[in-house]
Amino acid sequence: MQPRVKAARSARLAYARSVRPYAAVTHARMPCLAVAILALGMVAGCESSGPETTVGVGGACGSVAACAPDADLTQTDNASCQPLVDDYVPGSATDGWDACISDDGLYHPFDPNISSVARVGAFEEIATLLGFGQSKVPCPQDFLDARVAYSTAEGVESRVSRREDEHYPAAPAACNAMTPAELAQYPERCVGPAQIQPLLNEAFQQGIDGIDPVRNAARIEAGLLWFFYLSSYKEAITCTTTPADCDSCYAYYTGGEPETAGLGLSRYLRDRSAQAHGRVWDGILAVRCWRDLDNPTGAATNPALRDLATAQLDRALLRGVALIVRQRVQTLPCDQAWETVQILAKVLDREAEARDPTVAAVLRTELAAPNGQAGVTVSAVVDALDSLFPCP
Amino acid sequence: VPARETAAPGAAETTSRPATEQAPPARPPKSPARTREATLDETPVEVEVAGRRTDRPSAAGRAGSKVERREIDERLSRSAPDALRYEPGVYVQQTGHGQGSPFVRGQTGQRVLLLFDGIRLNNSTYRQGPNQYFFTVDTHTLRSIEVTRGGASTLYGADAMAGVIDARPLEPRLSLDAEGVVLHPRAAVEASSADEGIGYRTQLDLQLEPRLQLLGGIGGRKVALLESGGAVCSPGTEDCTPSSPEVARVPRFEGDGRTEIGTGFRELTADGRLSYSFAPGQRLVAATYLYRQFDAPRTDQCPPPFASLRECLVYDEQFRTLAYLGYTSLQGPRWARSVQTTVSFQRQHELRTRHRPQSFIDNGGSDQVTTVGTLARLRTDTLELSPWLGASLGYGADLYADTLDSAAWTDFTDNDVLVPATRGQYLDGSSYQQGGAYLDLESRWFERVAVRLGGRLGWARAVAPEDPASGTLAVDAAWPTVAAHAGLEVTIIPGLSLLGNVDRSFRAPNLDDLTSRQQAGPGFQVENAALGPETSATFEAGLRADVEQVLEADAWIYRSVLYDAIVRSVIGIGDCPPATPSCAASWSRYKLVNLGDAATIDGFELSARGWLPLGFSLRATLAYAYGEGPNPQAPPVDPAAPYEPTVPLSRIPPLNGTAEARWDSTFGPYLGAGVRWAATQSRLAISDRSDARIPLGGTPGFAVLDLRAGYRYQDNVLVSLLLENVLDTAYRYHGSSINGPGRGLIVHVEGGL
């Protein structure tokens, strides 16, 4: 638990010289030396003083929410689903793929040091603090600690703020070079800074201020799952030129863990469908297999094989995200679940529209019910999801 | 204004606008044997004679050079590091517009000792790589900057492994014949177009009586974004536009493809120097120098590669305060003919914020290093042991003690909440002491041979508390330190000397090595509390020519051998300390280690200045360094895996040089031109390859032409113009975050009484 210090902006500029954690007092430990020595204090630039007050985190918290959306998870596999004919199947001699490094069913990283693993670790830390899927009502301090974990240098925030959705055409400029006004013109491609980041900012800010902690925790959960889904796919695409990005594709899904012990997004899928999780795992191995077969030490040159692998991965990931929505919508009127459904259903909309515009419209209509979750027909949503995303 | 302004008892002839500046650069005097009284090493009061100009440093028998006030004025240097760009063997790297780190013989940071008036600026937080601290020396307060190349720990202590840079301040002006109070006010303004800079300085030179003078000044400057000549790409790239995939990842540009984001800063300076000559040849000085820099971005982190344009690491405050009392004497007893003693107080303050406005996050950090120091340097009179043998002995001691405050925090600006970190970049409450004593014997044989021998014994001690929350170990370690040197100077014929030096210098690990955790240029660096000292052995030979009134030339070759060199070694995520998620999340991670085998830097330096008729003069320099050391990474388990047993040392500058031509009238105007150039540097250390400051594959070569013109009227008026980068070349000094200024004009106007 981190304490927090509330301070005037002017004072915080130099929370500098005598900051001691857990204490904050007005101080002037080192007066401007010039004044003391040769009366040159006319020069501006004495070091600024420290913070003035310390406040605790108020607000009632720690109680139990009305529901826990993940309290009764069950497996949802579809026995009729089979790999497509050109899907990569580890160890299969009939899948049409040449033998490759992935055939033993394990992921073999290009580099054992995968920085993305730490970001999934941060997600799990945040999940514990905010009680993702549980009945916890997080305290403002929990949100503050979670935001610290989220905002670590080179951490989750740093990647959310630059994440682009590779499903959409590239914008005229890199999203990280755009102004907020420009970002608003490309919300789909620049999904990280344009959509996910504002969502997370608001949820953290409100959570720290003690506003609607249950819903805000759920928004953070959904926003981060959105990010990890996009990231795994994005890294598969950019692995075309940077082989080590395949490792990040794997790590953003599993947290760097083996198939049976994955963290982050893979934990969500594994808990809901071993089948979907297994197919995502196969997709990741397909990506790794492609790069093993396609100039593994340099830029890839076989876009057809890449497209096969990334399509296999994305199809499985989408099924997995759909299953999260499916499971959560069935726990309505749980508040947390409603937030998940609203946010992650939007993630599915692009592909849903592409597969069946009519059913996609049903899904959109249900989730845009004017009276919120009370107006949702759960069975209609489940049917739509099963229709749109039947198999991984 | 008095009629005569000249030397006074116990004081130098150098003044706040030295007499040397008032005359055209006369040819150098015939001075094959520099008097010991004029050496940098121990002599507190330097004797300069009007009309003399020389590139020679005052360190006897050593490779080096000197930049004088006049050259600083004419080159219109933006900073103290910038003033060294034309010096042989010096290569100036800039991580930010408001930063600059001089490399000497391929080394910088902890391995180059910075001095101000003989007082150490280096403290225990100087980093392994480039640092910004020499930028905090205000060039307007300087009389000269002397560079000694090669190890020099015998005289100066730790860190002087590759060289010493000594900034020497202006002295108050003396007016011997004047009675009563004498005032010399002075004001200057300066503007630069490439960064829309505007600066000023006002200065007052006050003589209360011939024995008591005061020189004080205040100044300021504000510069905006720096416009470069354009993007810099990997060597050999044909299409080098900001959108090219081969373009260096930093800096980022505005829409014009030239203006560099993450540049600009503000600064304020103030200084006061009180000089009291209480007896002939003796002087007491009380001085303080303040530098206050605000809002200076670190360009390679503003924004970092791939981050949002709005993310920026800014040094909100970069302050340095130096105050000292000094006593100097040239007329002591025989056993202490020259004396310099100083008691100093220095405080280095740094407040920085990484702004991430897109997420309402500011990561703050602050470090303060307070250093108390004292030194004494003495030298006996020259003892004439026989008609052909004379000798003098220098001796002295110094002691510096640092205490360190450090903190870090995260500020969520939308919630108005600060969250302190358990530790800062350093460990709060750490301390560091170092000191030593030396002997330095110089003997002259038959007026043709000089032999110099010296040695130092010292120690260093570091103490830092543990921080269990971050897995930081406590440090309580001490190291004895030994340095020595031997030099030989043979005058082959008058005007031609052969020189040779062998030097052993050292550097004990400092608090940065032992305790800091930081996002450095190549990646995240974690501390190593078990580091040991590093030492260097310098072997150098030089040929020095002085043809009276015609030529002054130096040629040096050297080999520096680094033992137990402290370098960055890649570590795995599993080696990251606990509770430091930034380590594991970074693309690359490093830990400082002592190399098991020796590393070497071989190189040469050439410099020559020639005087031609009609006021023309020419100057040229050439320098090269080749650094190589054992691979800090252990060989891979798989013997078939690629592995280089030896690798280049980090950020070694490429072959580089300068050429200058100058015409000086006898009635005020001057004209000049200078070319700075560097070859491509593609020899990269492992850590260089992940350093965003270095384009993929290396830094391309360049040549930049500067034109200068100006007018001087005695000591009353100075107008200097610099048309920099006339050809608008896109260029970058190797290892820098910023590209050099594009074509632009700098104007300096100064007047005084």
Residues 6+ apart with CB under 8 A from A39: none
The single residue listed with the structure tokens 């395949």 is A246
Residue contacts between A and B (CB atoms, under 8 Å): 200
In chain A, what percentage of residues exceed pLDDT 70? 85
Round to whole Å and give the CA distance between B622 and B505.
25
Compute how many other C-beta atoms are within 10 angstroms of the C-beta atom of residue A183. Answer: 23
- Residues of chain B positioned with their CB less than 8 A from the CB of A197: 358-359
Round to whole Å and give the CA distance between A39 and B290.
12
Listed by number, the residues of chain B in 517-536 with a beta carbon closer than 8 Å to a beta carbon of chain A are: 519, 524
Closest CA in chain B for residue A144: B419
Classify B569 as helix, strand or coil: strand
Classify B578 as helix, strand or coil: coil
In the prediction, which pLDDT does A215 show? 95
Of A19, A22, A118, the CB nearest to B581: A118
B266 touches chain A (CB under 8 A): no
Residue B25's pLDDT band (boundaries 50, 70, 90)?
Answer: very low
Surface-to-core class of residue A93, CB atoms within 10 Å of its CB (0-12 exposed, 13-18 middle, 19+ buried): exposed
Closest CA in chain A for residue B420: A21
A111 touches chain B (CB under 8 A): no
Listed by number, the residues of chain B in 212-251 with a beta carbon closer than 8 Å to a beta carbon of chain A are: 218
Q: Is the pLDDT of residue B703 over 90?
A: yes
Round to whole Å and give the CA distance between B740 and B724.
10
Of A38, A47, A205, the CB nearest to B272: A38
| Consecutive H or E run containing A304 | helix A303-329
Round to whole Å and give the CA distance between A159 and B580.
18
DSSP B195: T
CA quadruple B682, B688, B691, B696: dihedral, nearest 10:
30
DSSP string of A64-92?
B-S--TTTT------TT----TTS--TT-
Closest CA in chain A for residue B243: A173
CB contact (8 A) between residue A43 and residue B292? yes
The pTM (predicted TM-score) of the whole model is 0.89
Strand ranges for B86-195 from DSSP E: 90-93, 101-104, 112-116, 119-120, 142-149, 163-169, 182-192
Chain A nearest C-alpha distance from B229 (Å): 21
For residues B394-422, b (16+ Cβ closer than 10 Å) or e, as one string? bbbbbbbbbbbbbbbbbbbbebbbbbbbe
**Least confident residue range of A331-340, B394-403, B430-439:** A331-340
Would you call the peptide bond into B251 cis, given omega within 30 degrees of 0 as the criterion?
A: yes
Retrieve residue A223's tokens.
């926003």
- Cβ(A93)–Cβ(A100) under 8 Å? no
Chain A nearest C-alpha distance from B188 (Å): 18
Chain A nearest C-alpha distance from B11 (Å): 22
- Residues of chain A positioned with their CB less than 8 A from the CB of B252: 177
Closest of A269, A264, A289, A270 to residue A92, by C-alpha: A289
Closest CA in chain B for residue A158: B307
Tens digits of residue pLDDT in B292-303: 999 999 999 999
Q: Is the pLDDT of residue B27 over 70?
A: no
In the prediction, which pLDDT does B35 show? 33
CB contact (8 A) between residue B321 and residue A33? yes
Tens digits of residue pLDDT in B648-700: 999 999 999 999 999 999 889 999 999 999 999 999 998 888 888 999 899 99
Closest CA in chain A for residue B572: A113
- Cβ(B438)–Cβ(B378) under 8 Å? no
Closest CA in chain B for residue A156: B585
Chain B nearest C-alpha distance from A282 (Å): 26
Round to whole Å and give the CA distance between B192 and B111.
33
Between strands B142-149 and B163-169, the pairing is antiparallel
Of A21, A33, A201, the CB nearest to B359: A201
Closest CA in chain B for residue A196: B359
Of A144, A152, A161, the CB nearest to B308: A161
In the prediction, which pLDDT does A47 show? 67
Greatest pairwise CA separation for chain B in angstroms: 84
In the prediction, which pLDDT does A382 show? 96
CB contact (8 A) between residue A16 and residue B366? yes
Compute how many other C-beta atoms are within 10 angstroms of the C-beta atom of residue B579. Answer: 15
CB contact (8 A) between residue B292 and residue A122? no
Q: For B165-176, what is the mean pLDDT?
A: 90
Distance from the Cα of residue B372 to its chain's centroid: 21
Interface probe with B: pick from A32, A57, A156, A158, most Cβ of B within 10 Å: A158
Round to whole Å and give the CA distance between B186 and B189.
11
CB contact (8 A) between residue B585 and residue A34? no
Per-residue pLDDT for chain A (392 aa), expressed as one digit of tens each? 444 444 444 445 545 434 433 233 223 333 443 344 444 444 445 665 444 333 344 446 778 888 899 998 999 999 999 999 999 999 998 999 999 999 999 999 999 999 999 999 999 999 999 999 999 999 999 999 999 999 999 999 999 999 999 999 999 989 988 989 999 999 999 999 999 999 999 999 999 999 999 999 999 999 999 999 999 999 999 999 999 999 999 999 999 999 999 999 999 999 999 999 999 999 999 999 999 999 999 999 999 999 999 999 999 999 999 999 999 999 998 989 999 999 999 999 999 999 999 999 999 999 988 788 888 999 999 999 999 999 99
Residues 6+ apart with CB under 8 A from B8: B174, B176, B210, B211, B277
A118 touches chain B (CB under 8 A): yes
In chain B, what percentage of residues exceed pLDDT 90? 78
- Residues of chain A positioned with their CB less than 8 A from the CB of B358: 161, 193, 197
Distances (CA, A) of B373 to B322, B347, B569: 11, 11, 33
Round to whole Å and give the CA distance between B553 and B610.
8
The listed range with the strongest mean pLDDT (B12-21, B23-32, B620-629) is B620-629
Round to whole Å and give the CA distance between B504 and A362.
81
Listed by number, the residues of chain A in 159-178 with a beta carbon closer than 8 Å to a beta carbon of chain B are: 160-162, 176-178
Classify A50 as helix, strand or coil: coil
In the prediction, which pLDDT does B56 show? 72
In the prediction, which pLDDT does B303 show? 93
Residue B148's pLDDT band (boundaries 50, 70, 90)?
Answer: very high
B356 touches chain A (CB under 8 A): yes
- Residues of chain A positioned with their CB less than 8 A from the CB of B316: 13
Tens digits of residue pLDDT in B436-468: 999 999 999 998 999 999 999 999 999 999 999
Mean pLDDT of chain B: 90
Round to whole Å and give the CA distance between B540 and A374.
85
Of A7, A44, A122, the CB nearest to B292: A44
